[in-house]
Chain A
């Protein structure tokens, strides 16, 4: 079964609005990572947040981690057409030796 599951599966918003995507997981983690995939391309790493961190920022991106709820959220502020992509969370479970990717959220930014 998937460790990380994104919600929603698809999101469509207007340019300039904020986009929020959520990721839930089942077991304790060492870290959680968010990736972006543009159509026909490989995944690109966005942010890594460790289990002892609660929030991280990178430009227009803000990631939060709530280990008590086993969930994370990715917020993209002031969205742009170029943000249209699929976004994946990936978890590194404690004691495991591999990242497990969720199914992704497909984000569409409408001009």
Chain B
């Protein structure tokens, strides 16, 4: 398996522009996670999907952030409009989750976002 695939790997944009990050989870995994990593705040969970349904989006910073999972093999994280403070590395991860037991998460390589 190719693992979790993210695109783009790097994105540089100007403040106010729309940014769309993409993720393809590992085939057969039923859960997908979007994380943001910065030096100041560490690794933060933004949103988590189970069977394509958003379960917990309490980590989404504000209305400028939105995420979708139209099918089991694709998810997007959109920032509109982007701001310099959104600059971070965004990770997508997938896992098999069943009941009260969670298995390990498999992370993608990340998208390094720079908003000027």
Residues of A within 8 A of B (CB): 2, 30-31, 33, 35, 41-45, 48, 50, 88, 92, 94, 97-104
Contacts and interface: CB of A to CB of B under 8 A. Distances in A.
B56 A33 contact: no
B108 interface: yes
Given A2-B42, A98-B45, 8 more contacts: A33-B104, A33-B105, A44-B107, A45-B105, A48-B103, A48-B104, A98-B56, A99-B45
B101 A99 contact: no
Interface of B: 4, 33, 42-43, 45, 48, 55-56, 91, 93, 100-110
B109 A30 contact: no
A42 B107 contact: yes
A48 B45 CA distance: 19
A42 B91 contact: yes
Contact of B109 (A33, A41, A50, A101): A41
A35 B45 CA distance: 15
Given A30-B100, A31-B102, A103-B42, A97 B108 contact: no
Nearest to A43: B107
B101 A30 contact: yes
B48 A97 contact: yes
A97 B107 contact: no
